[in-house]
Amino acid sequence: MACLNTMYIIILKLIFWLSLLFIFYTYFGYPLLLVIIAKLKGKSIDKKTFTPFVTMIIAAYNEERNIREKLKNALSMDYPKHKFEIIVVSDCSSDNTDNIVIEFSMQNVRLMRMKERGGKAAAINSAIPEAKGEIILFSDSRQLYDKNALREIVDNFNDPTVGAVSGELYLTNPDGSGVGEGVGMYWKYEKLLRKKESQLYSTSGATGAIYAIRKNLYITIPHDTILDDVVIPMNIVLKGYRVIFEDNAYAYDNVASTAKQELTRKIRTLCGNYQAYFRMHRLFNPFKNRIFFQFISHKVFRLIVPFAFLLMLFSNVFLISSLFYSIILFLQIFMYISAFIGHYTSKSKSSFMGRFFGIPYALIILNYAALAGLYRFITKKQKSAWEKAIEHGNSS
């Protein structure tokens, strides 16, 4: 019996340490390793002034509140007007979106109206054949661009190895909410990873609100695709081209003002990741995916981390006879309690409260969303057509 108990303890310790090391590598080890490798083996980009014809595609559904300002903003960017057009694909909008777009028809703005509502992927597939541009710029209706954003993105395409370029979504927290603080800090962390991955070779996705591709590299995506900003760039990576993060090309947006909005957005995003990875089998082949290391470490491991947290907590409960494990269990419980408090203080405008409780809360939201996203993917309960309440422009 003693021998059996000893074996159980060894197994529990093994589960605990493997879970702890996995979590540490995913959130801290990989970024540190990425910084080192990027510095030693980073590949530069031949970024120079480059002015091909560009088509901006905006998929819009009932955007009468945003579309006029969006079009004015896009047309004011510093880029030759004769080499720039905008296609707005109205996904059967039932408000005044279409009429507002028509007002800009004399300024190289075209309206395409879908015959039936199909979501963003269907809208993109319909617009691509109609686009005149050598470069396609994908954008959402809400986020506004910096004046130089388009030039900063397009100049990267002077390098023939670059197939797609993602801009930077700059998030503000006007309400000063705790959840906003946590999400904002997480997004800064995420952008650091994308920047270093770009320096190493290529990042494993794009920012849906602002990214561009070479039109000739586009592969039609399934109409029920949830995350175009994952599937389209990864198709380009699989063709042997780089996907670059351009941190000088800004789009501006506000963080989710409530925890419910952020959670809903995250669940949709992570469900979309499961969908994309399940369909794109070649991503898991290191001989066909040139960014296999980044893809596994950054994207896939993030989906496994929630299970590691649960296993670490479960195994830790049975190891409290040791002072060390008791302390670790206390720290875990403290983290979950802090996240619980963060939920109820998420609307607090105290900078200290927001940062202290907002970070563990954002971490728990992220990991819970991964589990909920898996459930939605398995049960096929996630719709591909976006809803106004959950639309947000940064993917994970």
| Percentage with pLDDT > 70 across the chain | 88
Inform me whether the pLDDT recorded for 394 exceeds 50. Answer: no
> What's the pLDDT band for 1 if we cut at 50, 70, 90?
very low
Please answer whether residues 30 and 301 qualify as being in contact, where contact means their C-beta atoms are separated by less than 8 angstroms: yes
> What's the pLDDT band for 31 if we cut at 50, 70, 90?
very high
Per-residue pLDDT of 341-358, as tens digits, reads 877 766 655 555 556 777
Inform me whether the pLDDT recorded for 392 exceeds 50. Answer: no
> What's the pLDDT band for 256 if we cut at 50, 70, 90?
low
Per-residue pLDDT of 141-154, as tens digits, reads 989 999 999 999 99
pLDDT at 228: 94
Which two structure tokens, joined as six digits, stand for 144? 């506004």
Per-residue pLDDT of 70-115, as tens digits, reads 999 999 999 999 999 999 999 989 999 999 999 999 999 999 999 8
The one-letter code for the residue type at 255 is V
Per-residue pLDDT of 44-65, as tens digits, reads 899 999 999 999 999 999 999 9
Per-residue pLDDT of 184-207, as tens digits, reads 677 788 888 999 999 999 998 898
Inform me whether the pLDDT recorded for 128 exceeds 50. Answer: yes
pLDDT at 390: 41
Beta-carbon count within 10 A of 314 CB: 13
Is the pTM value of this prediction over 0.75? yes
Angle at 212 between CA 211 and CA 215, to 5 degrees: 150
Please answer whether residues 134 and 213 qualify as being in contact, where contact means their C-beta atoms are separated by less than 8 angstroms: no
Residue 352 CA, chain-centre distance (Å), reads: 27
pLDDT at 294: 95
pLDDT at 351: 54
Q: Where are the domains of the chain?
A: 11-396
Report the CATH architecture of 11-396: Alpha-Beta Complex (3.90)
To the nearest whole number, what is the mean pLDDT of the chain? 88
The one-letter code for the residue type at 134 is E
Inform me whether the pLDDT recorded for 234 exceeds 60. Answer: yes
Q: Are strands 210-214 and 162-172 parallel, antiparallel or unpaired?
A: antiparallel
Measured in residues, the chain has a length of: 396
Inform me whether the pLDDT recorded for 180 exceeds 80. Answer: no
d(CA 215, CA 219): 9
